[in-house]
A and B are shown apart, each in its own frame.
Chain A
Amino acid sequence: MNEPEQSIILLYLILVGVLLTAAGLIWLERRLLGLWQDRYGPNRAGRFGSLQVAADMIKIFTKEDWIPPFADKPVFVIAPAIIVITTLLSFAVIPFAPEIEIVNLNIGLLFFLAMSSLSVYSVALAGWASNNKYSLLGGLRAAAQMLGYEVFMGLSLAGVIMLAGSFNLREIVEAQRNVWFFIPQFPGFVIFVIAGLAETRRIPFDLPEAENELIAGFHTEYSGMKFGMFFVGEYMGVTLISALIATLFFGGWMGPLLPPLCWMIIKTFIFICGFILVRASLPRLRYDQLLSFGWKLMLPLALLNVVVTGAIILAAS
């Protein structure tokens, strides 16, 4: 339905929108953390610290971009780019409104899963290429964690796919005209949110960077804009998972009165704030707890959800 030129314009608009959101989140997260943890947060640069992002940007761009002599140079340089590229590519399949979507891919959801499974490389390779024991441990943790949580992230979406009968994100949104999928697919929703937290490596799942035991884990050796890419990549990941939760479980662009795009943005921001609230309130897990929680509890639950949803659909048809 999209003309090529229209797609390209949309592509740039969404690209700029996502990057601005990710940059804005740096400020929003720190303000909200301050609010919820009863402290100030950034409040010096500009009104309510709103120019903090600009200050951070100037700092990050002007810092020395140092590559350690003992690092594996090509891999060290590629690693931060991978996370930004895979996350931005995932945004291509998200329908922000009936007409606002870069590609209407029939395997849209699989495309997202493929991109999220590739983002593991960013962290794992960064840890390896740094040639530093702490980084290597962080990279190893990231690989095991993201691989494990990816398995049931895919499974948790199986219920949604069965109900909608399609991998196409637009059709999944259309299928929620009567009832939003978080009601019939509540277990799937909870499992997806937990897997999403683990995929974006945020507290309580930020074991790969655990600053009190691994210093900064996989990005110990990174500085300047390369570190900035991991930093912004994390916020883009949060935005992506929030947009996906809104699309898959909360009816995407649907809602009364306001235009569709507004609803999509409102829903996405609610979930982003939810992610920040989780970070403000939960401690970090221990590593073995994290893995056994994933494999022994979440995976069987996700499988059970698939079986029960399948049985109900079979009985109803």
Chain B
Amino acid sequence: MNTVFYVSALVAILSTVLVITRVNVVHALLYLIVSFFSLALIFFALGAPFVAALEIIIYAGAIMVLFVFVIMMLNLGQRSREEERLSLEPKMWIGPSLLAGVLFSELIYLIVYTGNTAVSSAVEITPKQVGIALFGPYAIGVELASMLLLAGLVGAYHLGAGRTGNSSSVTGDKT
């Protein structure tokens, strides 16, 4: 299991670096999907198959499809690639690298000095246990998340309804 963890962790880091350095947006998204796969494998190796499955169904299978959908619809071409290339100039790396460096040194500190290493439990967390935890001690979190999602849904509906109302009044087309 440790080997699985290290290999998938390595793939996750490599693919995430490639996400940042790609100039073609769709290629970057594909590497992000690979990074989600390796995250799912890490969850699976740590004994959380339910979370691993949800990682793929929701992140890789739904949210990233929406990203791909939007990018396909915008159909960015050569111009966006040029813009991406500009934003990858060496001096652009300084700020983010500093911030990431701070986080990285914190992580090293926590691992080396406090002895907090990864918990790789051999026990498998079943979907039922996840459900009991979600609707027991964490019920308030679920409610808050659902309210947030409802707000998003109402907002999306408002935007969508406004758009079709306008276009139909202009063109008289009801499709």
Contact = CB atoms under 8 A, between A and B. Distances in A.
A134 B61 CA distance: 24
Given A117-B56, A118-B56, A136-B75, A128 B50 contact: no
Contacts of B50: 107, 110
Interface stretch (B5-13, B64-72, B96-104, B144-152): B64-72
Nearest to B69: A143
Interface in B49-74: 49-50, 52-54, 56-57, 60-62, 65-66, 68-69, 72-73
Contacts of B53: 107, 110-111, 113-114
B126 interface: yes
A33 interface: no
A54 interface: no
A252 interface: no
Interface in A158-173: 167
Contacts of B68: 121, 124-125, 128, 143
B60 to A, nearest CB: 6
19 contacts: A72-B24, A107-B127, A110-B54, A113-B57, A117-B56, A117-B57, A118-B60, A120-B61, A124-B68, A127-B72, A128-B26, A139-B72, A143-B65, A143-B68, A144-B69, A147-B66, A150-B61, A150-B62, A288-B175
B60 A167 contact: no
Interface residues of B, number: 26
B30 interface: yes
Interface in B20-55: 24, 26-27, 30, 33, 49-50, 52-54
The 4 closest A-B pairs by CB, nearest first: A117-B61, A110-B53, A114-B56, A143-B69
Contacts of A143: 65, 68-69, 72
A118 B72 contact: no
B175 A124 contact: no
A6 interface: no
Q: Which of A114, A150, A167 counts the most B-chain CB atoms under 10 A from its CB?
A: A114
A279 to B, nearest CB: 26
Given A121-B33, A147-B62, A288-B175, A114 B57 contact: yes
Interface residues of A, number: 29
B49 A106 contact: yes
B54 to A, nearest CB: 8
Nearest to B60: A118
Contacts of A150: 61-62
A238 B17 CA distance: 38
Nearest to B175: A288
A57 interface: no
A147 B72 contact: no
B82 interface: no
Given A74-B27, A113-B61, A124-B69, 18 more contacts: A72-B26, A75-B27, A75-B30, A105-B49, A107-B127, A110-B50, A110-B53, A110-B57, A110-B127, A113-B57, A114-B56, A114-B61, A121-B33, A124-B68, A136-B72, A143-B65, A143-B68, A147-B69
Nearest to B52: A107
A125 B68 CA distance: 8
Contacts of B49: 105-107
Contacts of B60: 114, 117-118
A154 interface: yes
A273 interface: no
Contacts of B52: 107
A117 B62 contact: yes
A139 B75 CA distance: 12
A117 B66 CA distance: 12
Interface string A108-140: 001101100110110011011000000010011
Contacts of A106: 49, 124, 126
Given A114-B53, A117-B56, A140 B61 contact: no
B35 to A, nearest CB: 14
B61 to A, nearest CB: 3
Contacts of A110: 50, 53-54, 57, 127
Interface in A270-288: 288
Contact of B65 (A113, A114, A120): A120
A50 to B, nearest CB: 39
Given A140-B72, A147-B69, A167-B127, A118 B61 contact: yes
